[in-house]
Structure 1
Amino acid sequence: MVSKPHGGKLVRRIAAPKTRERILSEQHEYPRVQIDHGRAIDLENIAHGVYSPLKGFLTRDDFESVLDHMRLSDDTPWTIPIVLDVENPTFEEGDAVLLYYEDLPVARMHVEEIYTYDKKEFAKNVFKTTEEAHPGVARVYSMGDYLVGGEIELLNELPNPFAKYTLRPVETRILFRERGWETIVAFQTRNVPHVGHEYVQKSALTFVDGLFINPVLGKKKKGDYKDEVIIKAYEVLFKHYYPKDAATLATVRYEMRYAGPREAIHHAIMRKNFGATHFIVGRDHAGVGNYYGPYDAHEIFNHFPDLGITPMFFKEFFYCRRCGSIVNERICPHPMEDREYFSGTKIRNMIREGKVPPAYFMRPEVYEVIRSFDNPFVE
C-alpha cells in the first residue's frame, strides 16, 4: 500500500488560475520580498506537498519545537527548520506579501508571525556544531535577523531544465498504483552511481515491489557532480542494468543542508510524501566532513517510531577480491588486504586524473557518460 502522506494529507498550495491572474495583475500593491534560489525551491516543495504537512514557512512555536524536540508543535515528526529569513521587514504581521526570486513573483505569503532567533542555537541544534566551516552553519550565519512564518500560495515555478524527470508527489503516487507497487523503497542521491550504489539499491529491491531513485538537483558543494551528469549517468544505468517494471527515476529540486542524522529523517519524510514505504539510509547519510559519526543517521530513527516509513539500513560495503563480489562485514570473512572500499573521493580523483575506474567500482557505460563532459564537477 502506497504510504499515507506525512501528517495524513498531501498538501497542495497552488493558486487557482483566476486567483493567480488577479494577484499578478495587482502585484505592485503588495510588499515585495526578495528570496534566494533555495527558498524558491522550498516554496515549490511546500506547494506540491513534498514537505507535507507544511503549508508555509514555520512560525515561532513550530520553529522552536523543531529545534528542541525534532517535532512540530502538534508532535508531528519534523527535523529541519523550513524558514524564510529577512534582514529588515518592511511589512507587518497580518499583511500579504509577494515573494520574488529575481524578477519572478514565485508566491504570495500571508504573514502570520515575524520573530527573532538565535543563529548559534539554530546551528548547534540542527548541525551539532557552530563551526562556520560547516556549509549548513555558514548558511545560517548568513541569514537575515528575522524569520517570517505563514502560509503560501505558489504563483510561478522556476525554469526547470529537467522537467522530463520531474514528478510531483501526486504524480508518483499515481505511477506507483498503476504499476501495482504496494511497497516502494526510495533512494536519495546527489552523486553519479557507482557499483556500490547499485548493490544497495538492488539489495533493497529484493524485499519490495519497486525501486524509486530520487536524485537531488540543485545547489551543491564544490566537487559534487553537476546535475546533468547525474541524470545522464542514471539514464545509461537504467538502460542497461535495471528491470523496467521494477524501478523508476524521478528528480527532486532541493537544497542540501548537510545536516547528517536530522536530514536523514527529513529525506525519509520527503520520500514518504512521494509515496514510498521504505527508505534507504546509508553510511554518513547527508553528512559532510567529520561532523557526524558514520551511523548516526541510522541511530536517529530509533527516536521516531511514528515516522510512517520504514528505514532500510546498510553498513559499509566493499569489493572483496577473494569473494569476487560486493559484500559487507556481515557476509565476508576475509582480511582488510583483500578489500577495496568504495570512495566517492577516490573515484572522483581517478576521473580527474583521466584514469578509468575498475569495473567493480563503476560501470563502463557510466564512466563514458562522465568522460563525455568537459568538466563534470561543480566548481
Structure 2
Amino acid sequence: MSNGWVLPDEVLRDAPAYTPRAYELADLELLLSGAYTPLTGFLGRADLTALTRRGRLDDGTPWPVPVTLEIPGELVGGLELDNPLHRALVLTDAEGAPVAAVDVTDTWPTREGRYGVGGAVRRLGDGGHGPFQRLRRTPDEVRSLLPPGRVLGVVADRPLHRPQLAQIAHAARTLAAHLLILIPVAESGPDGLPPEVLVRAVFAARDRMPRPPWSRCR
C-alpha cells in the first residue's frame, strides 16, 4: 500500500533505518495489507489525542486502538519534518531486511531517549516478512477465498487441543459457518511457543476441524 507516497530510490537508500519491536512490526503488516483501513500509517499526536478523548480519529472516524511507532531519539535528530526528501525512515525486520518506509510528519517525546513518530507508510520490497509466507493473506484475498455464508473466526494463539476443537466444531455447526483460523505470528504466544511451532501445532489439528478449514496467519 503506497498511499500515493513516492520517493526517489536514492532518498530511501540514504534514509536512516530502524527495526521496530515485534508488536510494531505486526501493526506495520496490518497497515500495509489494508487490514487497518482507513489508516494509512502510524498515528500522530492529533489522532492519538482525539482517540483518547473520543474514541475517534482527529477527522471524526471511529477507531478502536492506538497504532503507534516509537524510535530512538538520535534517529529523530536526523529527520527534517518540513522537507519531504529528508524525513523518510526505513523500517526493517529482525534480520535487517527493509520492509517499509515511513514518511515522518510528526514526532514527540514519549520517554527518556525515545520518541513517537507518525506518518504514512509505504511497502518496500516484496513483503516477504516472517514465517509461512504462503499463509499470509490480505483482507481482500481472504474474502475472495471464503465461500458465501457465515464465517466463524478463531484466533489460535496457542495449540488447539480436544476441548477447544470440540467447542469450535460445536460453534461452527450451530452457526452453520465456515471456519477461519487466524494465527498470531508477531511474537511468541502466551505459552511461550515460537510462531513457527505454533503454526505447525495448529496445522497438526486440521483433521479434527470442521470442513473446510480456512487458515490465515497475521
Query: TM-score when scaled to structure 2?
Result: 0.80
Question: Counterpart in 2 of 1:376?
Answer: none
Q: Which one has the largest radius of gyration?
A: 1
Q: Which amino acid aligns with 1:67?
A: T
Question: Counterpart in 1 of 2:137?
Answer: 167
Q: Which amino acid aligns with 1:154?
A: R
Can you list the C-alpha shifts for 1:73-98, whole angstroms capped at 9, x where unaligned?
23433333211112321213233313
Q: 1:248 aligns with which of 190, 193, 214?
A: 214
Question: Is this contact kept in 2: 1:67–1:79, CA < 8 A?
Answer: no
Q: Which amino acid aligns with 2:43?
A: L
Question: Counterpart in 2 of 1:134?
Answer: none
Q: Which amino acid aligns with 1:235?
A: F
Question: Counterpart in 2 of 1:153?
Answer: 122
Q: 2:171 aligns with which of 196, 204, 221?
A: 204
Once the 2 structures are TM-superposed, how far is the Cα of residue 37 of structure 1 from its aligned partner? 4.3
Q: Which amino acid aligns with 2:164?
A: H
Q: How does 1:224-235 map to 2 (within 5 A)?
A: 224-235=192-203
Question: Is this contact kept in 1: 2:150–2:176, CA < 8 A?
Answer: yes
Going from structure 1 to structure 2, the CA distance change for 1:79 and 1:106 (only over 3 Å counts) comes to same
Going from structure 1 to structure 2, the CA distance change for 1:109 and 1:241 (only over 3 Å counts) comes to closer
Q: Name the Cα RMSD after superposition.
A: 2.7
Greater share of residues in strand:
2
Question: Is this contact kept in 1: 2:20–2:69, CA < 8 A?
Answer: no
Equivalents in 2 of 1:191, 1:210: separation in Å? 21
Check if 1:193 corresponds to 2:160: yes
Equivalents in 2 of 1:75, 1:184: separation in Å? 30
Equivalents in 2 of 1:159, 1:105: separation in Å? 9
Going from structure 1 to structure 2, the CA distance change for 1:71 and 1:148 (only over 3 Å counts) comes to same
The number of residues matched between the two structures is 207
Question: Counterpart in 1 of 2:104?
Answer: 111
Going from structure 1 to structure 2, the CA distance change for 1:47 and 1:197 (only over 3 Å counts) comes to same
Equivalents in 2 of 1:47, 1:225: separation in Å? 26
Query: TM-score when scaled to structure 1?
Result: 0.49
Going from structure 1 to structure 2, the CA distance change for 1:241 and 1:85 (only over 3 Å counts) comes to closer
Q: Which amino acid aligns with 2:214?
A: T
Question: Counterpart in 1 of 2:88?
Answer: 97
Equivalents in 2 of 1:145, 1:251: separation in Å? 31
Check if 1:81 corresponds to 2:66: yes
Equivalents in 2 of 1:200, 1:64: separation in Å? 40
Check if 1:13 corresponds to 2:6: no
Q: Which amino acid aligns with 1:92?
A: E
Equivalents in 2 of 1:66, 1:43: separation in Å? 19
Q: Which runs of 4+ in 1 moved over 6 A?
A: none
Question: Is this contact kept in 2: 1:15–1:154, CA < 8 A?
Answer: no
Question: Counterpart in 1 of 2:17?
Answer: 33
Question: Is this contact kept in 2: 1:40–1:106, CA < 8 A?
Answer: no
Once the 2 structures are TM-superposed, how far is the Cα of residue 14 of structure 1 from its aligned partner? 7.2
Equivalents in 1 of 2:113, 2:153: separation in Å? 35
Can you list the C-alpha shifts for 1:164-220, whole angstroms capped at 9, x where unaligned?
3222212101112xx2x2321211121000223223322332214311110111212
Going from structure 1 to structure 2, the CA distance change for 1:220 and 1:145 (only over 3 Å counts) comes to same
Q: Which amino acid aligns with 2:54?
A: H
Question: Is this contact kept in 1: 2:12–2:90, CA < 8 A?
Answer: no
Check if 1:238 corresponds to 2:206: yes
Return 5+ residue gaps in structure 2 as ranges: none
Going from structure 1 to structure 2, the CA distance change for 1:226 and 1:209 (only over 3 Å counts) comes to same
